[in-house]
Amino acid sequence: MAGARPGSEPDVAPVTESTARPAPPAPAPAEPDRTIDVRGLACPIPVARTAQAVAALRSGHVLEVLATDPDAELDVRAWATRSGDEVLSVETSDEVVRLLVRRRP
């Protein structure tokens, strides 16, 4: 490298907060293609209806699930792992869990 002495490291500015690039923003969750409302229903009904609804979607489409079962998030995540589908997001507000699930490609 021009200007570097043999055996020495080239002059490189250290990465600092002022020179580091910020991480890109997280992509916004996809808009759902279909919504199911399983509020008030207990396990295993929310995950069973989620599986049925996702199976009816086209590949890559997104299902919105509205549930009040406290185990709905864990159950749907476990099911999605086994089925190859993807939980895109989970939001909880006023005891309602909103999950977005994308059908596997």
User: Active-site residue numbers?
Assistant: 43
What's the distance, Cα to Cα, between the start and end of the chain in Å? Answer: 48
Q: Using CB atoms within 10 A of its CB, is residue 29 exposed (0-12), middle (13-18) or buried (19+)?
A: middle
| Angle separating helix axes 45-55 and 72-83, nearest 10 degrees | 40
